[in-house]
Structure 1
Amino acid sequence: MTNTDIKIFGGSTGKSFAQKMCDYIGIELGKSEVLTFSDGNIFVKINETVRDHDVYLVQPIGLQPNDEFTEILFWMDAFKRASANSVTAIIPYFGYAKGDKKDEPRVSIRARAYAECIELAGADRILTMDLHSSQIQGFFKKPVDHLFALPILSDYIQNMRIEELVVVSPDVGFAKEARNFATSLQVPVAIGDKMRKSHDENAKVLEIIGDVQGKNALIVDDFSISGGTLVDLAKGLKERGANKIYAALSHLMLTEAAVEKIENSPIELVIGTDSVENEATLSKKIKTISVAPLFAEAVVRIHNRESISSLFDTVPRR
């Protein structure tokens, strides 16, 4: 099979990411349209034949999670009814991923419900990046290809040549991923002791475990919405003698208020990916790195029945 056989389409909030993927592969973006009527109803249409083709639909479940998720279902249904041979849902950011367990009575495991709906709508495969927890792959019965932003973020940080660097995890839950970052950068790790009292976006960093005195700190996390933990941890690091403070996020889910917090904080720079299209992150303190080429390379390998895991042979597994 050749790369010209690949058909990539973009949903309403995945079109620019899909275009970057197409530019990398050297193909044209699939012709399609999305309409949202005045009552909120969503209409999707494929404007070219996909009969007997393997197609790929790019749509994050990000800043408009309910609409974006619903749109994915309609796309899956449309491609299947148009007799596509297979449909891969490319979801750079998988929203509701924090709802991955039943940790109190009478609550929904939202990530599992999402996974089942996407499969029932017709997805034959899912391609995503940095799930909040790897157990979410088990919610799908169809194959899930799980990509990692770590190599791309790590390469960028290495090129910054920051001396006396220490990687800082915001809490114990992200400590393993932070250690993977630290291993990649060959630097030590520190861990924040974070407590969240309720189901809101406010958490308090109580203590920092590890030596940060006189060091430059890199806070790592999968995403941040309110920016509260990042800023609180940055202030705690400063109080404990850290020099310059940076942050690396797999997904830039930051709100406008969060960006304002970061701009007024001790954080020098936040580095993240374009997995979610977010105009709020247009700030001098935020650097966005594209992971579209990574997804494009994964699509080429999927299409040609080649290994994807070899893309991460040197990356520690979660």
Structure 2
Amino acid sequence: MPAMTEPKLISGNSNRPLAQQIARRMSLHRGMSVSLVDARVERFNDQEVFVEVYENVRGEDMFIVQSTSNPANDNLMELLIIADALKRSSASRITAVIPYFGYARQDRRTKARTPISAKLVANMITQAGIDRVLTLDLHATQIQGFFDMPVDNLYAAPVFALDVQHHFKGRLQDVTVVSPDVGGVARARELAKRIGCALAIVDKRREKPGEVAEMTVIGEVTGKTCIIVDDICDTAGTLCKAASVLMDAGATEVHSYITHGVLSAPAVERITKSVMKSLVITDSIQPTEAVKAAPNIRVVPTAPMFAQAILNTWSGTSVSSLFDVDTLTPIYEGLYHRG
């Protein structure tokens, strides 16, 4: 049954440029203007979040674009309060588009008397009146099961595959994809399979969070161009150390493809001074000025993929079709040219 209303976007303050780019891409796809719903999302003097929607949203299919990145708690509250405002304004369906899902690293109890914060956040999102979630590269895919609602988890691997094929054209036979830890092997294998390259692993052993005691390379990297693949880069300590270990093991150069560039201090400085030739991240988290100015950090856009995913959700067609490079190629037409 065809949708009777147009999809409407509303944005919090976490990554408004991405929301605007999604709206522009949707305008191109629809052949008509799609703009963000006029609203204000502000703070009172005591930092309470206040939301006011200026447009009528009764019966509308609403999409809230809001990453729960730093400051995670503020951005999460914005998402919940926007959802409550829309629900109380009689929106027919509310989809939370969360390019970066904060608290995803707290997806299980690692020690006694610790929380499973990802499940708590899922409960809060459910109680706020949100009907479905659209996100990108969840840290742990089982988080989808924390929700009693549909959760569409998009993947950066197809976009990264397009980027690698474009920037390493003619050199793919010398490329090896590297997982920075054993837990990320499935993610690295997925990219390696897409571009037809070998796979290696950096086995790391932590003494305590934030510190890497020892690293060992599993696989052949001598004379290879190594591409490290992971979902999150926070302080970049592990990433820069892994790049050094790979170079010491005989790699000719090291590049990294990371979905979510959290890049907390002193990450940018570490990356700039590291042996990595380039770090490629997505704009799931709004890049800071320091990130934009870094000579070896490059940002690939997610707006084309999210715009198509939103339109597919609105029209009731497949979102999983976006996992295919052949599907994404025309969506990213103009940015990458194959052949």
Instruction: State whether TM-score is above 0.5.
Output: yes
Of 86, 89, 110, the residue aligned with 2:117 is 110
Counterpart residue number, 2:225: 216
Question: Where does structure 2 lack aligned partners over 5 or more consecutive residues?
Answer: 28-33, 327-339
Q: Which position in structure 1 is the counterpart of 2:332?
A: none
Question: If the length of structure 1 is used for normalisation, what is the TM-score?
Answer: 0.95
Residue 56 of structure 1 corresponds to which residue in structure 2?
Answer: 63
Which of residues 296, 299, 306 in structure 1 aligns to 2:317?
Answer: 306
CA separation in 2, counterparts of 1:271 and 1:48?
38
1:8 aligns with 2:9: yes
1:169-222 Cα shifts (integer Å, max 9, x gaps): 001000111111110111101101112222x32334420100011111001100
Q: How far did residue 265 of structure 1 move?
A: 0.7
SS at match of 1:281: helix
C-alpha contact 1:204 1:232 (8 A) present in aligned 2: no
Which amino acid in the other structure matches residue 230 of structure 2? D
Is the Cα contact below 8 Å between 2:162 and 2:325 reproduced in 1? no
Residue 76 (structure 2) pairs with residue 37 (structure 1): no
Moved over 2 A (4+): 1-4, 200-205
SS of match in other structure, 2:194: helix
* Secondary structure in 1 matching 2:94: strand
User: Matched residue of 2:266: which SS?
Assistant: helix
- 3-state SS of paired residue (1:51): coil
Distance 1:204 1:50 in 2: 54
Deviation string, structure 1 residues 149-186 (Cα, Å, up to 9, x no partner): 11111101111124411001001000111111110111
CA separation in 2, counterparts of 1:59 and 1:221? 22
CA-atom RMSD in angstroms: 1.5
Following superposition, the deviation at residue 11 of structure 1 comes to 0.4
Aligned pairs for 1:134-145 within 5 A: 134-145=141-152
Q: Which amino acid aligns with 1:70?
A: M
On the 8 A contact 2:225/2:254 being kept in 1, the answer is yes
Does residue 180 (structure 1) correspond to residue 181 (structure 2)? The answer is no
Which of 130, 138, 141 does residue 131 from structure 1 map onto?
138
Equivalent residue for 1:287?
Answer: 298
Residue aligned with 2:145, SS: helix
Distance 1:201 1:39 in 2: 33
Contact 2:158 / 2:324 at 8 angstroms: preserved in 1?
Answer: no
How far off its partner does 1:275 sit? 0.3
Which blocks of at least 5 consecutive residues in structure 1 are unaligned? none
| CA distance 1:272–1:205, change in 2 (3 Å) | farther
CA gap of 1:205–1:31, structure 2 versus 1, over 3 A, is: farther
Paired residues in the alignment total 314
